Amino acid sequence: MASHRKSRTPGPRVAGIRTPALATAALTSVALLSQTADAAPSDDGKPSLEEVEKKVDDLYRQAESATEKYNAAREKTTKQRKRVDTLLDDVAKRTQRLNEAREELGSFAAAQYRTGAGVPDTATFLLADSPQDIFDQSQLMDRMTGRQKEAVDDYVTQQSATMKKRQEATQSLETLTESQGDLRTAKATVQKKLTDARELMAKLTAEEKARLAAIEKEKQQEAARKAAELARQQAEQLKAREEATQQESGTSGGAGTSESSGSTTTPPADSSYATKAEKALTFARAQIGKPYVWGATGPDSYDCSGLTQGAWKAAGVTLPRTTYDQVDAGTTVPVSQAQPGDLVFFYDDVTHVGIYVGNGMMIHAPKPGTYVREESIYYDGESSIHSVVRPA
């Protein structure tokens, strides 16, 4: 399947997208790992705990990436299947009309046989290999009655249209077959990555699993600290906007305002957006505790983009199915100006998404084996954040 991701140039990002700031959470995690795990494989050739953790994380990331490819392939396959069904229905109807036109020509032929009339043999047209064969016999057409010509014209029209639709249906069936192959490939890839991750985790001892849990807890504590820091920044920005608005209302001919830092900022979302966002968040909160299942769109389970799509659908906004398309379904805003309802995307390949709830927190379906939950947008480190998008 041809990739539809956008090519991305590495390097610093602007407007709050992947800033070059130090990835504090990631560095903390590495430091902890160096304290609690061997950095190199053991003498018996067994991978170190650090290597296992990295490998498992990579496999889950790859599985999530494959899931989005699966979602795209499934959506494409569904659309193509509907098109094929529509074309086949059309072919059936046109074939019926063609048969009716053929029967009418046959009635003329039968009448000629009974009466021995000297008009051209209408049955000749029923034996023609193509509509063009009929038109080539123009001398016969000239000798036909008006009703016979109408019958032939109708037959030619129906035959041509039916042949065209049959060709379209055949081509669509071929495309559908290719898409179904892509779908099977994506599904197999997801299953393989998940199986590999489970097998790696199964090889860990109880002590190693406990150490991994401790490392994860430290990472989440750092993520919570970063979320609190963002919440303070946003509160300061809100206060600065309110003060600037008050100052502007007290003067005439004001030239507009900006943040207290003097930088240009994205205008806050309007009240209509806030109303829709609240509906989306109400839906998302109701899904907390439901399992992550790759390819799922509810109501009992979700993957990451299935959850955000369902949340905004509850607010009357239709989002595309995949993260690759959802990231283009709105206006990009700086992380510092994220507002409740905004979509937070992760990683350079844009394979994960959550819905922002405020104070540096989001609701998302993290990965296989987990449940929909609320946690810091820095759950995988500051550097993992790709962008924030406000749905249109």
Instruction: State the pLDDT confidence band at 34, using cuts at 50, 70 and 90.
Output: very low
Higher pLDDT residue, 359 or 38?
359
List the catalytic residue out of 32, 296, 304, 317. 304
386 as an active site residue: the answer is: no
pLDDT of 316: 95
Higher pLDDT residue, 165 or 325?
325
In terms of DSSP bridges, do strands 385-391 and 373-376 run parallel, antiparallel, or are they unpaired? unpaired
CB atoms within 10 A of CB 174: 11
| pLDDT, tens digit, 9 for 90 and up, residues 46-77 | 667 777 777 777 777 778 877 888 887 788 78
pLDDT of 26: 38
Instruction: State the pLDDT confidence band at 7, using cuts at 50, 70 and 90.
Output: very low
List the catalytic residue out of 18, 352, 386, 390. 352
Q: Which two tokens stand for residue 126?
A: 């029923």
pLDDT of 65: 79
352 as an active site residue: the answer is: yes
Instruction: State the pLDDT confidence band at 10, using cuts at 50, 70 and 90.
Output: very low
227 as an active site residue: the answer is: no
- Whole-number percent of the chain with pLDDT over 70: 68
Which range is least confidently modeled, 168-172, 248-252, 306-310, 322-326?
248-252
pLDDT of 198: 81
Starting at the edge strand found earlier in the chain, the sheet holding 330-333 runs: 330-333, 385-391, 343-346, 352-358, 361-364, 373-376
For the ranges 19-33, 105-119, 194-208, the maximum mean pLDDT occurs at 194-208
Instruction: State the pLDDT confidence band at 31, using cuts at 50, 70 and 90.
Output: very low
CA distances from 303 to 122, 150, 263, 320, 371 (A): 63, 59, 37, 14, 10
d(CA 41, CA 197): 18
Picking from 28, 18, 22, the residue whose alpha carbon sits closest to that of residue 223 is 28
pLDDT at 117 > cutoff 60: no
List the catalytic residue out of 211, 364, 386, 390. 364
